[in-house]
Structure 1
């Protein structure tokens, strides 16, 4: 297992290096922040002084090596707009985005697993057909439209939940979290539902497909022939096996949930990393954009590693293969 972990870490380092080059060149080759950040009334001397202060007077390759050397020291650049370290700006917003993404993922599992399990065990019932039809809507409806409908129904017409903002927070592990307060939890509910709809549909379909495939396997037939109770067969033999693909896909989807929570954060004015990156793109705040993309890359790598380790816990064959290599 140690050799397997070492190989994965070396692969992660190579991926981070390659992505840093792609992200840096891609972001710095598009647009000119000087036209936005510097007043058009400034004379040529002031413009050149500002360009030199931002480090934009250097060739692209030299800017990249300056960025890389500082990144190895934990410095991902300084925001052009806020004049603060880009990493600090993102870390200040990260708890809000993580809270939203984990809330949506937990909601997807809590709702999707039971519905998918029922639809797989009773595929021909009217309830199962309704569940599968609803999952199609979850895939099809655009996120921004669903968010606006949720606000109109539950915030404007019914007045049950707040429409925007994060609400009051409470400190835990050195960070501020809104789910620890009742009003903060009410603020979290609507954006989490909006962000989880696609994931709920995905979990339902994965679970149903896994159940339909697993109940036909020999070990399930043998368990039934031994006289085990239906609940034990379902929750011990069937459910544990279908968790393997579900955990893999949901784990990978967690990274995309964090990365693509931009729409939900914009609709609900949720003060997370997504809203920060939209504001930074509007003013071409390159250090913040690059730092955000690199942090997302790191999150994907860490999540993939955690998913692989979880996979090895659920499936002993993965551990045996890792020992064999």
Structure 2
């Protein structure tokens, strides 16, 4: 298991180097940082001095090595708009996005597991057909349309829930601005979380259903029925337990995708997280902040997928054996 873990960690490092290279190449070729830093009245000579001071005249490999060295110390550049380190801006915006992703993931787990299991056990029931039909609609609808529909129903027509912003928040640990500990913050979280979960919830319901229906037809499940084991034990212990492997794999990938997909959700609900920050950085040509966001999302993807690979190796020893070949 140690060799398997080391191999996955090394692969993660290589992937992060590739992501950092792509991100820095975008920064190097996207706009002129000096133009965004200074006004129109600055002379060409002064601009040249600024470029020299920032090291922008150095060859690309030299700039990239300097970028890697700074990144290892947590420095991903200076935001041209906020006039602050890009890392500091992301750390301030990250709690809003991470709490949104956490609540959406919670909704997905709480709903997809029982609905997927029931649809596999009773595939011909009316409720299962309604669930499957609803999942097709959910997969077909883009997240921004779901968000607009929720706002129209629950904010415009019923006036039950707020339509934008994070509401009241509290400061934790001196830097984490959380909305999970206030009633107003939780009310503001409901609709964005539902909208974001609508991307993955239908996928997980159908995945759990299809995998479990396949497992229910396996020989060891038929043997469990023949032994007279209680139905709930056959379904949950023998069948669902062996359904988890592909679900864990897909879940890890989709969790990273959800972090990136918050862009549309945050834009509709004016949720001041990393997604809306990225859109603003593109509009303002704030390349340092754009690259910092790409690197952060890349780190989330790599960490989640590495953890999933390690968990998968613990759950299924054949993965570790295959990895040595």
TM class by smaller structure: over 0.9
Which residue in 1 is equivalent to 2:218?
217
- Structure 2 vs 1, CA of residues 274 and 26 (structure 1 numbering), >3 Å: closer, same or farther? same
Distance (whole Å) between structure 1 residues aligned to residue 20 and residue 48 of structure 2: 28
Q: Is the 8 A contact 1:105 1:250 kept in 2?
A: no
Unaligned runs of 5+ in 1: none
Comparing 58-67 and 99-108, the one that deviates more: 58-67
Q: How does 1:254-265 map to 2 (within 5 A)?
A: 254-265=255-266
Query: Structure 2 matches for 1:41-120, cutoff 5 A?
Result: 41-52=41-52, 54-120=54-120
Instruction: Give the Cα–Cα distance (whole angstroms) in 1 for the partners of residues 79 and 36 of structure 2.
Output: 14
1:28 and 1:89 mapped to 2: Cα distance? 21
Name the structure 2 match of 1:242.
243
Shift of 1:100: 0.7
Partner residue of 1:4?
A: 4
Superposition pairs of residues 1-325 of structure 1, within 5 angstroms: 1-52=1-52, 54-174=54-174, 175-318=176-319
Output one character per residue of 1:168-226: Cα deviation in whole Å (capped at 9) or x when no partner: 22344552221121111111110010000121101111011011101000110011111
Q: Secondary structure at the match of 1:260?
A: helix
Q: Which moved more, 1:281-290 or 1:187-196?
A: 281-290
User: SS where residue 261 of structure 1 aligns?
Assistant: helix
For residues 112-165 of structure 1, the C-alpha deviation after alignment (integer angstroms, 9 at most, x for no partner) is 121111111121222212111111111111111111111111112111111111
Deviation at 1:305, TM superposition (A): 1.6
TM-score normalised over the length of structure 2: 0.93
Aligned equivalents of 1:114, 1:173: Cα separation in 2: 36
Question: Shift of the alpha carbon at 1:56?
Answer: 3.6
Q: CA deviation at 1:30?
A: 2.7
8 Å Cα contact 2:252-2:305 kept in structure 1 = yes
1:310: how far off?
2.4
- Is the contact made by 2:4 and 2:320 (CA closer than 8 Å) also made in structure 1? no
SS of aligned partner of 2:23: helix
Between the two proteins, the alignment pairs up a number of residues equal to 324
Measured on the aligned residues, the alpha-carbon RMSD in Å equals 2.0
TM-score, normalised with respect to structure 1? 0.93
Q: Distance in 1 between matches of 2:53 and 2:263?
A: 31
Helix, strand or coil at the partner of 1:179: coil
Aligned mates of 1:148, 1:34 — CA distance in 2: 39
The 2-side partners of 1:242 and 1:189 are apart by 29
SS of the residue corresponding to residue 176 of structure 1 reads strand
* Mean CA deviation greater in 279-288 or 47-56: 47-56
Q: For 1:258 and 1:53, locate their aligned partners in 2 and report how far apart those are by CA, in whole Å.
A: 36
Distance in 2 between residues matched to 1:204 and 1:302, nearest whole Å: 25
**In 2 relative to 1, CA 13–156 (structure 1 residues): closer, same or farther, beyond 3 Å?**
same
